[in-house]
Amino acid sequence: MELDPLLLSRLQFAFVVCFHAIFPVFTIGLATFIAFLEMLAFRTGNPAWSRLSQFWIQVFAVAFAMGVVSGIVMSFQFGTNWSNFSYAAANFIGPLLSYEVVTAFFLEAAFLGVLLFGRNKVPPGMHLFAACMVALGTFISSFWILAANSWMHTPEGTELVDGIFGVTSWGQAIFNPSFPYRFTHMVLASFLTGSFVVAGVSAWYLLTGREVDANRRALSMCLWLILIGAPAQAVIGDFHGLNTMEHQPIKIAAMEGNWETTRGMPLLLFAIPDQEAERNHMEVGIPRLGSLILTHDWDGEVLGLKEVAPEERPPVWIVFWAFRIMVGIGMLMIGCALVGLLLRRGGRYWQQPVFLNVLRLMAFTPFVAVLCGWVVTEVGRFPWVVYGQMSHSEGLTPSLTGGMVLFTLIGYVLVYAVIFSAGIYYLMRVLRAGIESIDWPEEVHDIERPKRPLSASHVSIEEGGHGHARH
């Protein structure tokens, strides 16, 4: 069998970027949560808030370090596998990615150190300020990345001359048509991810009766955030979808499994799309609801996949099902938020064991939803790397062979498997140690540096290491 460097490169990029995305999506939300906690601690003086903040800062440090490590690989992927794209788009993509590096560095050097290690060394107001700046910094970082990514979906403010994109308007290129929707959708996704992880972990502690006062507060706060965030995400998602329909109608057709251009399109709940036969099997749908959602009109016209040649259609089943998983998880989130609201009467939200167990399991779902969302948008733009202007095959490194990419793909899988199982294992140990661990005597005097965020945590990687009693 001939190994296809294009397919393997796409797989490699998807693998590396998915592994990377898990961490920033969590840390962006968590950074804001920590800033909230710091603000509450500052204003009320209640030690429960600062205990919570101290604990979650440790978790933040580990996840942040993992994000940085996996990000290093990203900055080289563009050149190694997509050199034609890099060369053509460098005038725009280059400065944006560099600004992300610059922002991240500035954030780490100036504020992360104060947040991680400065609690007893700077005035409380300055510590709060550092927490806010770290949160702001994570947003600015994602601003640059999402601006670059959105431009690849809806390229504007640039002109393709002799195979090279020149920037005609930085404003138009950065604030391109899909950017505001994608950015808001992603920021809300980060909030929800942070909230569900904190809620799930707090629920787990509450089930075992650990640090009840602090964890009850954390859970309550997260449930309020989810109550606002989850429905808002559905609304933003709808706007994002309408924007996609305007600029990338074929992606919408794949998301809906819609082959023919029709009026009054049904909303499919279940189907098995068949790329070869150009139809779906075993369709279950609600009549006309699809048209209503997409065009806000029962009889609105929706373009079908057959509008473009078969080789310009994305793999439908991937986009179709990834979209359904994402939306399904979103619905579950809204459900959790409403049940949480009902259980507030009589304070049952932190005592009801079934609800707490559901929240514990829900902690993993935001990551699945985020990755599925990215699969929808990235697979859905097939076959374009810069939508309508440069295809994947045009963007690929011409000298690549299938064997080379297979070698590095296996290599990255192995490296990430080793490194991240260690990282996640360690993260689990920090979570298991719990809030109580901030009272442990600091026998380990690490060299605490902002650019070494992992030094913020003093939990041993092994059972019973450093003589810390397990609780």
Partner 1 sequence: MHGIDLTIIWAIIIAFGIMMYVLMDGFDLGVGILFPFAPDEDARDVMMNSVAPVWDGNETWLILGGAGLLAAFPLVYSVLLPALYIGVFLMLAGLIFRGVAFEFRFKAERSRNLWNWAFAGGSMVAAFAQGAVVGAYIEGFNTVDGRYVGGPLDWLSPFTVLTGLGLVAGYALLGSTWLVLKTEGYIQQWVRRLAPWLLLVVLGVFAAVSVWTPLVDPSAFERWFSVIRLIWVFPVLALLSAWLVWRGVRRQHHATPFMATMAMFAFTYFGLLVTKWPYVVPPNYTLWDAASAPGSQLFLLIGVLFVIPVILAYTAWTYWVFRGKVRAGEGYH
Q: Is 424 among the residues that bind partner 1 (CB under 8 A)?
A: no
Q: Is 422 among the residues that bind partner 1 (CB under 8 A)?
A: yes
CB of 72 to partner 1, least distance (A): 6
Q: Which one among 102, 140, 325, 339 touches partner 1, defined by CB under 8 A?
A: 102
Largest CA distance in the chain: 69
Q: Is 90 among the residues that bind partner 1 (CB under 8 A)?
A: yes
CA 257 to chain centre: 25
CB of 233 to partner 1, least distance (A): 31
Residues 344-383 that bind partner 1 (CB under 8 A): none
Q: Which one among 120, 399, 439, 441 touches partner 1, defined by CB under 8 A?
A: 399
Asked if 221 and 53 touch (Cβ cutoff 8 Å), the reply is no
Q: Which one among 76, 239, 298, 364 touches partner 1, defined by CB under 8 A?
A: 76
Q: Kindly report the number of other CB atoms within 10 A of residue 470's CB atom.
A: 8
User: Under DSSP, is residue 245 helix (H, G, I), strand (E, B) or coil?
Assistant: helix
Q: Kindly report the number of other CB atoms within 10 A of residue 167's CB atom.
A: 14
CB of 142 to partner 1, least distance (A): 16
Give the nearer residue to partner 1 in terms of CB position, either 331 or 415. Answer: 415
Span interacting with partner 1, options 27-35, 82-90, 188-196, 214-222, rule CB under 8 A: 82-90
Give the nearer residue to partner 1 in terms of CB position, either 239 or 425. Answer: 425
Q: Is 120 among the residues that bind partner 1 (CB under 8 A)?
A: no
Using CA atoms, how far apart are residues 27 and 7, in angstroms rounded to an integer?
31
The secondary structure of residue 363, as a DSSP letter, is T
CB of 35 to partner 1, least distance (A): 22
Using CA atoms, how far apart are residues 366 and 402, in angstroms rounded to an integer?
34
CB of 199 to partner 1, least distance (A): 27
DSSP per-residue string spanning 11-56: HHHHHHHHHHHHHHHHHHHHHHHHHHHHHHHHHH--HHHHHHHHHH
Residues 165-194 that bind partner 1 (CB under 8 A): 166-167, 170
Q: Is 139 among the residues that bind partner 1 (CB under 8 A)?
A: no
273 forms beta bridges with: 280
Q: Is 397 among the residues that bind partner 1 (CB under 8 A)?
A: yes
Asked if 29 and 190 touch (Cβ cutoff 8 Å), the reply is yes
Span interacting with partner 1, options 234-242, 307-315, 372-380, 454-462, rule CB under 8 A: 454-462
Question: Which residues does 449 contact at the CB level (< 8 Å), separation at least 6?
Answer: 113, 455
User: Under DSSP, is residue 119 helix (H, G, I), strand (E, B) or coil?
Assistant: coil
CB of 458 to partner 1, least distance (A): 8
User: Under DSSP, is residue 443 helix (H, G, I), strand (E, B) or coil?
Assistant: coil
CB of 262 to partner 1, least distance (A): 44
Give the nearer residue to partner 1 in terms of CB position, either 41 or 93. Answer: 93
Helices and strands (H, E) in the chain, number of each type: 15, 8
Using CA atoms, how far apart are residues 344 and 195, in angstroms rounded to an integer?
17
Residue numbers at the binding site for partner 1 (CB under 8 A): 65, 69, 72-73, 75-76, 78-80, 83-84, 86-87, 90-95, 97-102, 105-106, 109-110, 166-167, 170, 397-401, 403-404, 407-408, 411-412, 415, 418-419, 422-423, 426, 444-447, 449, 451-452, 454-455, 457, 459-462, 465-466
